[in-house]
Amino acid sequence: MLTLLKSWVRPDAFHTVLSERGPRWYNACLRITRDADLAADAVQEALLKAWDRRHEFRGDAALDSWIHRIALNAAIDATRRRKTRAEDELDEDGHEAAPASGPESDYSLQALTQDLSAAMQRLSSMERQVFVLKHIEGWRLDEIAESTQTSVAGVKHALFRALKKLRVDLQVWSNES
Amino acid sequence: MISDEDLMLYHYRELGADERARIGAALASQPELAQRLHKLVARLDAVSTTAEVPVPLEVQARWQAALAGAVRGEQRTAPARARFTNTRWIAAAAGIAMVALAVTFVAMQPKTQLADNDARQPGARQAQPAESAAAGTAYENGLKFHLASTERQIAALGDATPEERQRLIETIIGQNRLYALAAERAGEPQLARVLRAFTPILDDLAHGRGETTAANVAQLSFELRVMQARLAASAASTNTL
């Protein structure tokens, strides 16, 4: 078993998983940071941290998943360190309503994509992070609370706010009143 | 009345056992409630599905260089982005070697219907620089591992379907364009030209038109060896800095 674990943390294993999964880590971090430089830095930080701590890798998960999680934590930390002024200015209820007009019959994919993107952009930094970590990454609420340095209740509250905003924003697209 | 929030917590498996059992029973007995949860999840899935953004070439090179530096135990506190100026050749070399590996692999496939000599000689000639790139000390460790990984992926295509093979080659073509662009920006138009010259050949191979490309492969493989020699010399000089 020890031999197996050692084989997992050899340099070529890191380089291989970087080549194959680096884009996935990058995009995951980008969803957290919404900043290409921060996302790239988060992945690099995660790589180096994982290499330094490779003796801690237990092998009960894929190396990819392990580094992925470290990268997300690095992205969360980076976002905390460098919040954008616009995000800071948004209070909890500072979200603008979705367009009031009804759905067009020829609603284009491009318009849909823009609406979806706009919906995400109207989330505060905390709401977006919690939603991404919960809905996309599948983290537990207590894991999110630990990483974002807040309480489980706070995470749950942010998640509910995010869900409410996203539901409202997507009314136009979903053809529902 | 079960709220959307409770439905989502049920979906996320974040409820206690009792509450989970209660909502589970309600979902089983109330189709409209199940439909509501389904729509809610589908809507949130839609908003969270975004197109994947390609990783910029310089960022990939930076990651590989940083990891290679860590593996070597080198000091890592220097600004990482500044290292790319010394690694532009590494990125370009990776592009060349990847193309060479791909051409080698595909040219040796029976599918190309080349005559034995025409099919094997270019491949055999091109394998040499790739091998030397993997084994030589002039290149960064990151490049070596990256090439080894790529080589494994290509070698694994022996059992691939034509569709899978075509996808791989198209991927390599895409990466090759990026490396050519990087070479051009690095002030290496000759290297960029060689990289770009491989693109139509790869495209022919991807679409089963390999029989028309043997002569071009031979010519380009010669230019490839020249470029590899230059790369080795350049890398050796930068390593001494």
What distance in Å separates residue A88's CA from the closest CA in chain B? 22
What distance in Å separates residue B125's CA from the closest CA in chain A? 26
Overall residue count recorded for chain B in this entry: 241
Contact A170 B40 (CB under 8 A): no
Contact A15 B66 (CB under 8 A): no
- The phi-psi region of residue B53 (left if phi > 0; otherwise alpha if psi is between -120 and 50; otherwise beta) is beta
State which residue of chain A sits closest to B70, comparing Cα positions: A48
* Phi, then psi, of A9 in degrees rounded to 5: -105, 20
- Name the nearest CA neighbour of A37 among B148, B114, B55: B55
- Name the nearest CA neighbour of B70 among A101, A67, A53: A53
* Phi, then psi, of A104 in degrees rounded to 5: -85, 145
Residue with tokens 């989502």: B8
Six token digits for residue A120: 């995400």
pLDDT attached to residue A60:
62
State which residue of chain A sits closest to B47, comparing Cα positions: A116
Instruction: Between A49 and A59, name the one with better pLDDT.
Output: A49
Contact B63 A140 (CB under 8 A): no
**Rounded to whole angstroms, how far apart are CA atoms A167 and B13?**
20
pLDDT attached to residue A121:
79
**Rounded to whole angstroms, how far apart are CA atoms A157 and A169?**
18
State which residue of chain A sits closest to B71, comparing Cα positions: A11
Most A CBs within 10 Å, among B43, B45, B57, B74, to test the A interface: B43
Give yes or no for residue A78 having a pLDDT over 80. yes
Give yes or no for residue B153 having a pLDDT over 60. no
Q: How confident is the model at residue B47 (pLDDT cuts 50, 70, 90)?
A: confident
pLDDT attached to residue A28:
93
Give yes or no for residue B213 having a pLDDT over 80. no
- The phi-psi region of residue B109 (left if phi > 0; otherwise alpha if psi is between -120 and 50; otherwise beta) is beta
Compute the average pLDDT of residues A85-103.
42
What distance in Å separates residue A58's CA from the closest CA in chain B? 20
What's the pTM value of the predicted model, to 2 decimals? 0.53
Amino acid present at A131: F
3-state SS, chain A, equals CHHHHHHHCCHHHHHHHHHHHHHHHHHHHHHHHCCHHHHHHHHHHHHHHHHHCHHHCCCCCCHHHHHHHHHHHHHHHHHHHCCCHHHHHCCCCCCCCCCCCCCCCCCCHHHHHHHHHHHHHCCCHHHHHHHHHHHHCCCCHHHHHHHHCCCHHHHHHHHHHHHHHHHHHCHHHHCCC
- Out of A70-84, A128-142, B66-80, B180-194, the most confident range is A128-142
CB of A74 closer than 8 Å to CB of A29:
yes
Six token digits for residue B67: 């990891």
Most B CBs within 10 Å, among A14, A17, A18, A115, to test the B interface: A18
DSSP annotation of B78: S
Overall residue count recorded for chain A in this entry: 177
**Rounded to whole angstroms, how far apart are CA atoms A125 and A83?**
8
Question: Given B8, B9, B76, which is nearest A48 (Cβ)?
Answer: B76
Most B CBs within 10 Å, among A44, A130, A164, to test the B interface: A44
Contact A167 B80 (CB under 8 A): no
**Rounded to whole angstroms, how far apart are CA atoms A62 and A79?**
26
Enumerate the residues of chain A whose CB falls inside 8 A of the CB of residue B32.
none
Contact A163 B5 (CB under 8 A): yes
Amino acid present at A177: S
What is the share, in percent, of chain A residues with pLDDT greater than 90? Answer: 42
Give yes or no for residue B222 having a pLDDT over 50. yes
Write the pLDDT tens digit of every residue in B79-90: 444 343 344 445
Helix (H) or strand (E) holding B6: helix B4-11
How many A×B Cβ pairs under 8 Å?
109
**Rounded to whole angstroms, how far apart are CA atoms B236 and B232?**
6
Q: How confident is the model at residue B97 (pLDDT cuts 50, 70, 90)?
A: low
In chain B the first and final C-alpha atoms are separated, in Å, by 71
Give yes or no for residue A159 having a pLDDT over 70. yes
Question: Given A26, A140, A169, which is nearest B55 (Cβ)?
Answer: A26
**Rounded to whole angstroms, how far apart are CA atoms B39 and B4?**
11
Enumerate the residues of chain B whose CB falls inside 8 A of the CB of residue A18.
63-64, 67
CA distances from B207 to A43, B142, B162, B217 (A): 36, 32, 9, 16
Enumerate the residues of chain B whose CB falls inside 8 A of the CB of residue A24.
52
pLDDT attached to residue B40:
87
